Chain A
């Protein structure tokens, strides 16, 4: 018997199939393609024909779209379930996705104790990085390497993504190096996170697509917050993995 977790995010859909030992036996990641449900259904149907799926749990912005879901859970609970499977401790989880930042405190059993999520503004999210990097003519896939070679502490002050783009133009006019530009963008994200109430004594797990493509954020958060930060393997799949774990838990209830 296997269990399927489906995380339909704003940019990517992630699938994870686990066995009864909570081991990942299959994973998949593809563009969410909101208008092309047929493609998504084909991929999922292939999984159903290949694996004997007991229960399916869906999560993410599109969690209510998956008709075959037996359980629907929010990303926050799936993040907690996924990371708890890796580390059965009290912890802070920071999930930076395409359009949101979620920060949650989760206990050793995976219960969400506290959580925060941006709902007014998408500054500091994946979309923020993409927008500002584009203006700075930086390759988003190279940013992490570039930032690692910067010694600058310069940061973007603008709260608004659009104004941050204007601000970074000034940096370019001032001939700021591409390394410092990359790091400055990351620091502004860390500053956003810094304002969120959280227990600073807990270890931090950084997950989501941004953690995958921008691993240098871990160093910046460690430096700024003086905490131990872990990016788990395949951080963008953690919510789908957590969903699969929840599917199994509900199947066994």
Chain B
């Protein structure tokens, strides 16, 4: 049976990362997953990502217990389920980090920083914890839903990046050092470059890494980008996958179809969905989600401007027109037969099926498209049997 051996290393890398957050001698910042992690690291902050915790709550299905707890204090279950799962976990004093990484609770922040490039929900989510921990909360608020990102937008956002410096200096006790920022950004760019190459191995057939596996292997690019550790991890993973490509080894030996997953993972049903596609020899080879941590634009010569540009041009922050073009290119590059749009009930911002995109994409590219209604964490919004019939019908459409 096909398996990615580097998974063992992944467990160690993630365990070490969480272990490092216990180190009280270093300042610790919370940051959104596509927030200014490199800038924070340049001040010596350990960086913790609440969205990673949200995903863990979803994958372990603990979110089903914690979401109702948040609902009781006024965060209803139809807003972001990362937010409700995480806040509920905090109130309940129960986290899967204990079982998996030996942490009693998520590490306490000295500083909280968000970027609303993905959604406004992160602002309210992080503000809740700012109040709870009596901790400063800083935010970057870029222009949203861009056709293209212009110079004035970059000026605006890079100015906001710079404005974080005084508070970062005060809390970390370290003066801003542009060389450290450049070095961190360079490491981050190298890691994301390796991550891109990792995902791109699945342009080959048989593909060596599925979307479902990639959602697990993306851990280091989210939580450790800007470090040597992330870079090294993806060097090892990439080498294994390139070896598999060379030996024509993939997770589906004879691919009957190649599928693109658009939108968030359904964390609590990754295994079920992975098995379902495998039963039909269908390979889910690419996704918007995993591609979201590729930051080609980082340039250590212009660290502020390139960070501003990279974090403002992320897929989720683009217009429907720009998103359509990005998806069309990926369909072409990965030789996609069908696209599944996950319409996440609690994640309006990362659901791209609500403004006619599936129909437009089908018309322009000829691939089959399907909308699955579910959620990232809240499985009450996922009807397994109905979704299975829909997916199997899509696969029948492709094969007939």
Contacts and interface: CB of A to CB of B under 8 A. Distances in A.
Interface of A: 61, 73-77, 100, 111-112, 115, 117-120, 197
Contacts of B390: 115, 117, 119
Interface in B346-381: 359, 372-373, 381
Nearest to A102: B389
B396 A100 contact: no
A35 B400 CA distance: 34
Find the residue from A61, A75, A117, A118 having the highest chain B CB count within 10 A: A117
B163 interface: no
A117 B381 contact: no
Given A61-B389, A74-B393, A117-B393, 12 more contacts: A74-B389, A74-B396, A112-B393, A112-B397, A112-B400, A115-B390, A115-B397, A117-B389, A119-B372, A119-B383, A120-B345, A120-B381
A112 B373 contact: no
Interface of B: 345, 359, 372-373, 381, 383, 385-387, 389-390, 392-393, 396-397, 400
Given A120-B373, A120-B381, A100 B386 contact: yes
A54 to B, nearest CB: 21
**Interface class of chain A by DSSP:** loop
B387 to A, nearest CB: 6
B373 A77 contact: no
Find the residue from A74, A75, A118 having the highest chain B CB count within 10 A: A74
A119 B389 CA distance: 10
A119 B266 CA distance: 15
A118 B371 CA distance: 11
Contacts, number: 40
B101 to A, nearest CB: 35
Given A120-B373, A197-B359, A115 B385 contact: no
B396 A77 contact: yes
B369 to A, nearest CB: 9
What 6 A-B pairs come out closest when comparing CB atoms?
A119-B386, A76-B393, A74-B393, A119-B383, A74-B392, A77-B396
10 contacts: A61-B389, A73-B396, A74-B392, A76-B389, A77-B396, A111-B400, A112-B397, A117-B389, A117-B390, A119-B383
Contact of B386 (A73, A111, A118, A197): A118
**Interface class of chain B by DSSP:** helix
Contacts of B381: 120
Contact of A111 (B373, B385, B389, B397): B397
B396 A112 contact: yes
Contacts of A73: 396
Nearest to B345: A120
B383 A77 contact: no
Contacts of A115: 390, 393, 397
A58 to B, nearest CB: 13
A61 B385 contact: yes
Contacts of A119: 372-373, 383, 386-387, 390
